[in-house]
Structure 1
Amino acid sequence: MQLAKLLVYFDTSPALSLLRSTNAPFIIDFLNQQFKQGEQIAWAHSDLIAALVAYQDNLQDTDPGKLPSRADGYIAEWCSSETRWLRRFLEADSDEPSYQLTPHTEDVFAFLDLVLGKDLGFVGTESRLKLVIDLLTDLVVGSSDDPETKLEYLRTEQRKIQEEIEQIQRDGLVATYRPDQIRDQFSTAVSILKQLQGDFRAVEESFRDITLEVQQQQVAGLAARGGILEYALNAEDVLKKDDQGVSFYEFVNLILSPLQTEQLEKIIAEVRKIPELSSQQEGMETVRGMVSLLQREAEKVMRTNQRLSTTLRRLLDVEAHAERQRVAQLLQEIRGLVVSFDGRHDCEDVGLTIEDSAAIDSPFRRTFWTEPTRLEVIDLTEFQPDEDARSDVFKKYAAMHRLDWRAMRKHVEELLKLRPAPTLADVLDEFPPTAGVVEVLGYLQIAKDDDHHIDTSVEIPLSIPPMQDNANWIEVRVPLVTFLNKRRNGHA
C-alpha cells in the first residue's frame, strides 16, 4: 500500500464518495433493498423511480428531511459521471432505460458486510482459517507435478476417511459440528456468496469497454473494418485467456450445468433443514435464491458479450452489403456485354465462370446455451375432475384452428418469387393470417425448420387481425425473420 495510490484513491474513488455523501446510510439502504434483498440485477427506470418515491414517503415518518428532493433527480445524480454509483443502460427489448449497480457500489456493500457483519452478527474466524489452510494445501498439491507428493496427500486423506469409517462402525457415533461451528461455516459461505455477486460487474465492465471501443472506432471511421474487427477479436481473446476471464467461463460452465445445478439445489435444501440455522433468516434467504441469482448474473454478463458479437456482426453486414453492391454492378456489366454480342455468331470464346465454394457463416450467430424450462410437477392422485370444466376445455380444443403447413410454405415460396428476401411482416401483409397468433407461431416454426434467417437480437411489432367480429387486433413482438430461397439458406 503506497501513499501515492492512497491519495489518488481517496480523491477519485466513487465508493468513498458514496460513503462520504450526506445521505449515505439512506442511499445505501435503498440500493440494498432494491438490488440485493430484492434479488433483482437491473431495474427499469419507471420501477426504480416508483420504488424511490415509496422509500422517500416512508422516510417522512421515520427520518423527516432526509432525501427531500425529487426521485428522478437523485437517480440522475447517482448514475452521473461524477458519482458512478449506478449504471444507466438501454436494453434491446425495452423503450426506457434500466439501472444496475456499478463495481464501485458493489465494493461498498462488500466493505460494509465485512465490517458490520450485519447478516449473521459475527465474522467466521475459525471457518475462514480452515478455508485458508485447505486452499493453501490444495495449492501445494495441485501445483506440484511430483507423483510422490500427490500420493502422500491421497494416502493421508485415505487414512483419515478409513479411521472415521472404523470409528462409526465401532461406536455407532458420528462426529458433528458444534452449533457455533455450524453458524461459523454458514457465515463464511454467505459472505463469499455476496462477494461473488459483486465480481460479475468487473467481467461485465471488460466486455462493455471492448464493445464501446469498437463502436467508437466504427463511428469515427479512424480505422478500416478489418482493423476494428482484429482489435475486437484480439481483445476478446485476451479477456477470455486472462485469469479473470478463464475463471468466469469455468464458473459459467459450472452454474449452467443441469447436473451441477441439481446437486447444488439438493445441498441448499439440506442446509435449510439444519435447526441451528433457523434464526439466520436473512442469510437463508440469500442462500435460497443462490442458484437462480447466480444464473441470472452469469446470463447478464453473457448478454453483454452477445452485444459485442452483435456489434461485430453489424460491422460484417456492412461489408457484406458493399460486396452485394459490387456483385450487382458486375451482373449489370455482364448484361451489357450480352446485349452487345446479341446476333453475333462468330464469337467462340464467350463464356461465364462461376466460383462455387463453401458458404462461411459467422460463429457469433450461435446463441449461448440456455437452461430448458422446468415444468412444475403436480400431484393428481386425489384429483376429482370437474365435468363442466372438462367439457369447456374440450369445446375450446375443438374450436382451435388447424394450421395448413403446406399452404403456409407455399405462401413463402410465392413471395420469394416476387422479392429476394421477404420478412415475416411481408408474408403476413401479403397473406393475412386466418388463425390468429397461432399462425404467426407456425411461420416462426417454418423459419426454424427450413433454416431461414432468424435474428433474435432485433424485435419487430406485428398487428394480428381478430378471429371474431368486434374483437380487438392483437399486438405482438417477434424476432426479425427473413425468408431466403433454397440456394441461399443452404439447401440444394
Structure 2
Amino acid sequence: MDFATLETLRQKHPAWRLLVVDHAPLIISFLHGVFLEANARSLPQRELVLRLEDHLHALRERLGEDAFPRTAEAYLEEWAANGRGWLRKFYPPDTDEPHFDLTPAAERAIRWLVQLTERPFVGTESRLLTIFDLLKQMTEGTEVDPQARLAELERRKGELEAEMERLRAGHLELMDESAIKDRFQQMADTARGLLSDFRELEHSFHELDRVLRERIATWEGSKGELLEAVFGERDAISGSDQGRSFRAFWDFLMSPARQEELTLQLERVLAHPAVRALHPDPRLTRIHFDWLEAGEHTQRTVARLSEQLRRYLDDRAWLENRRIMQLLRGIEQHALAVRAHPPGRAFMELEEPAPAMELPLERPLFSPPSRPRMVDASVLEATEEIPAEALFQQTFIDKAQLRENVRHALRAREQVSLAELLQEHPLQHGLAELVAYLSLAVEDRHAAVEEAQPQTLFWTDARGCMRRAVLPLVRFHR
C-alpha cells in the first residue's frame, strides 16, 4: 500500500473511479437494485433502458427536472465505456441485441458500501469459532502420524458419546438468540459473497475467451502449436487452486441430496423467531439455486471456449482441403499441357529403391494356438420359476433407421428440425427414441443444438396418453 500503487489504483481501477465519480449515488443505487438485489447475471439493453428511465424519472420528480439531463442510453454507454468499466456490454450467441452485466470491480465497490451501513447486530463469536474450525481442519489434514489422528478421533468420539448421554438424561442445551443471530449474519454474508466470486470467476473466463479469439484471429503457425498453447492455458486454469476449488464446490452443490438438505435447513433457520427479528432477505431461501444459476453461466462460458476451438479447426480443415484441391488441379493442368509434347529429358527424379532386409532373428517365433478343454458334464434341469416378462419388455432403438429418417428428410431441403422430422416419422418408442435422436445430433458434426431457443415436442405413448418434452432446438443440416 505505498503511494505510487495507491495513486495508480485511484487513476485506473474501476472500483475507485466509481466511488469518486460525480453521479456515484445514481450509478450505485441503480446497479445495486437491478443486478445485486435481483441477482441478475445479464440484462438486455431494452429492459435495462426502461428500468433506468423509471429510476431517472423518480429522481427528477424529487430533485427537479434539471437533475440528470442525459438519456438512459447515454448513461449506459458511458458506464460501459473502457474509461469507466462498471458494466460489460456484449452480444450473446444467436442475438443481435446487446446485453449488459455488472463487472466484478463495480460489484466489489458496491459490496464495500453496503458494509458501511449500520448493521442491526454485530457478532464476533461465530468468526472466532470459524477461525478455530479452519485451523483444526488444516492441522488434521496435514497430520502424517496415524496414531495422532486416531487419538483425535477417539477424543471426538468421547465428546459425542457424552453429549448423547446428556440428551438421554433429558439435559438439552439450546443455542441462545445472540449466538443464532451471529451465525446467521455470517452465513448470509458468506452466501452473498459466493455470488460475487462467481461473477469474478466468470469475468476471468471471459478474459480467456477474448484472448483466445485474438490469438486465433492472428495465428500464423500450425494447428498443433495453437492447440498446444490453448490447451496448456486451459489445463493451467483447471489445475490451479482456484479451478480445483471451483470444481469441488460445483460437484458438492450438484448433489440432489445436498440441495434438499440445504433447502430444509434454510427453511428451518429462517422460521426461527430470533432470525425473523433481523428481517432477513427472503431470497436467502433459494440462495443455493442462485449459486446453481451463476455456476451455469460460468460453465456456458467455458463451453464457448470449446466452440471457438471447434470452429477454428473446421475452418482450417476447409482451407487446407481447398489448398490440396488447388494443387491437384494444377498438376492435372500441367499434365494435360505436356500430353501432346512430352519432355525429351528426365523431368522427375526418384530415389533408387533399396532392398528391404529382414534378419531371421527379427522374425517372431511360432505361438501354438490354445486348444479349448471340453468338460463332459450333465445338464441339470431348472426347478425355479423365473418370470420371463422382463425379456419381452425390452425396447430396441434402431439408430440406423433413425439416421435413414434424417437422410430421407434432407433429400429435398438443406436443413430439418427435430419437430419437423417427428411430424414425418412419429415416435414409435416414446422417450427412448427421442433420446436416441438427441444422441445422433450430438454425434453429427453437421447438426446444431440451439440452447437459447427451446422447443416443445408432443407424442402419444403406448397407453394412449399425451406426452410432452421441452428441449433445445435441434437442427440437422445436409
Name the stretch that deviates more: 323-332 or 1-10.
Answer: 323-332
Q: Distance in 2 between matches of 1:157 and 1:79?
A: 55
Contact 1:86 1:102 in 2 (8 A): yes
- Hey, what does 1:307 align to over in structure 2? 304
Change (3 A) 1:480 1:230: farther
The residue correspondences of 1:43-442 to structure 2 (distance < 5 A) are 43-64=43-64, 66-116=67-117, 120-170=119-169, 172-281=170-279, 283-322=280-319, 324-325=321-322, 412-414=406-408, 422-424=414-416
Corresponding residue for 1:10?
A: 10
Mapped partners of 2:172, 2:2: distance in 1: 51
Does the alignment pair 1:448 with 2:438? yes
- How many angstroms does 1:159 deviate by? 2.5
Measured after TM superposition, the shift of residue 248 of structure 1 is 1.0
Distance between the aligned counterparts of 2:425 and 2:412, measured in 1?
Answer: 25
Following the alignment from structure 1 to structure 2, what is the Cα–Cα distance between the partners of residues 269 and 461? 32
User: 1:34 Cα shift?
Assistant: 0.7
Instruction: Output the CA distance in 2 between the equivalents of 1:139 and 1:149.
Output: 14
CA drift of 1:324 comes to 4.5
**TM-score, scaled relative to structure 1:** 0.70
Rounded to whole Å, the distance in 2 between the matches of 1:143 and 1:217 is: 42
**CA spacing shift, 1:299–1:458, aligned 2, 3 Å:** closer
Shift of 1:477: 9.0
Q: What amino acid sits opposite 1:110 in the alignment?
A: R
Q: Secondary structure at the match of 1:289?
A: helix
2: CA distance between counterparts of 1:108 and 1:444? Answer: 49
Deviations 1:335-359 (A, max 9, x none): 99xx9xxxxxxxxxxxxxxxxxxxx
Q: In the TM superposition, what is the alpha-carbon distance from 1:157 to its structure 2 partner?
A: 2.1
Q: Is the 8 A contact 1:217 1:223 kept in 2?
A: no
Find the aligned partners of 2:454 and 2:182 in 1 and give their Cα distance: 54
* CA apart distance, 1:135: 0.9
Give the superposition deviation at 1:185: 0.6
User: What is the alpha-carbon distance in structure 1 between the residues aligned to residue 290 and residue 41 of structure 2?
Assistant: 8
Does structure 2 conserve the Cα–Cα contact (< 8 Å) formed by 1:197 and 1:297? yes
1:261, 1:21 → 2: CA distance? 42
Could you tell me whether the CA contact under 8 Å between 1:460 and 1:480 is conserved in 2?
no
**Secondary structure of the structure 1 residue equivalent to 2:32:** helix
Q: Residues 402-443 of structure 1, C-alpha deviation per residue, up to 9 Å, x if partnerless?
A: xxx999976633466789xx5326997xx996899xxxx999
Question: Is the CA contact (8 Å cut-off) linking 1:167 and 1:173 kept in structure 2?
Answer: yes
**What root-mean-square deviation, in Å, do the aligned CA atoms of Structure 1 and Structure 2 show?**
3.9
Change (3 A) 1:28 1:258: same
Q: CA deviation at 1:104?
A: 0.3
Which secondary structure does the structure 2 equivalent of 1:424 belong to?
strand
Identity percentage of aligned residues: 27
Deviations 1:291-340 (A, max 9, x none): 1110111000111111111111111111332454467679989999xx9x
User: Once structures 1 and 2 are overlaid, which stretch shifts more, 405-414 or 316-325?
Assistant: 405-414
d(CA) in 2 for partners of 1:212, 1:166: 61
> Partner residue of 2:387?
none
Aligned to 1:161, the other structure's residue is in SS state helix
**How far apart are the structure 1 equivalents of 2:166 and 2:435?**
62
* Structure 1 unaligned blocks of 5 or more: 340-404, 463-475, 484-492
Would you say the 8 A contact 2:35–2:41 is kept in 1? yes
Structure 1 CA distance, aligned partners of 2:201 and 2:188? Answer: 21
Q: Are the counterparts in 2 of residues 52 and 71 from structure 1 also a CA contact under 8 Å?
A: yes
| Residues 79-115 of structure 1 deviation map (CA, whole Å, 9 limit, x = unaligned) | 1111111111111133311111111012113312333
Supply the AA of the counterpart residue of 1:300: H
Q: Structure 2 stretches of 5 or more lacking a match?
A: 337-398, 456-470
> CA 1:5–1:425 in structure 2 vs 1: closer, same or farther (change >3 Å)?
same
Q: 1:113 to 1:136 in 2, by over 3 A?
A: farther
| Partner deviation per Cα, 1:217-242 (whole Å, 9 max, x = no partner) | 22223443333222211111101111
How far, CA to CA, are the matches of 2:411 and 2:6 in structure 1? 70
Q: Which residue of 2 aligns with 1:19?
A: 19
Which residue in 1 is equivalent to 2:473? 478
Structure 1's 320 and 280: CA in aligned 2 closer, same or farther, altered over 3 A? farther
**For residues 268 and 259 of structure 1, what CA distance do their matches in structure 2 show?**
14
Q: CA deviation at 1:39?
A: 2.0
Kindly tell me the number of residue pairs found equivalent between the two proteins: 395
SS in 2 for 1:81: coil
Report the secondary structure of 2:281's partner residue. helix
Query: SS at 2:88's partner residue?
Result: strand
Deviation at 1:447, TM superposition (A): 4.0
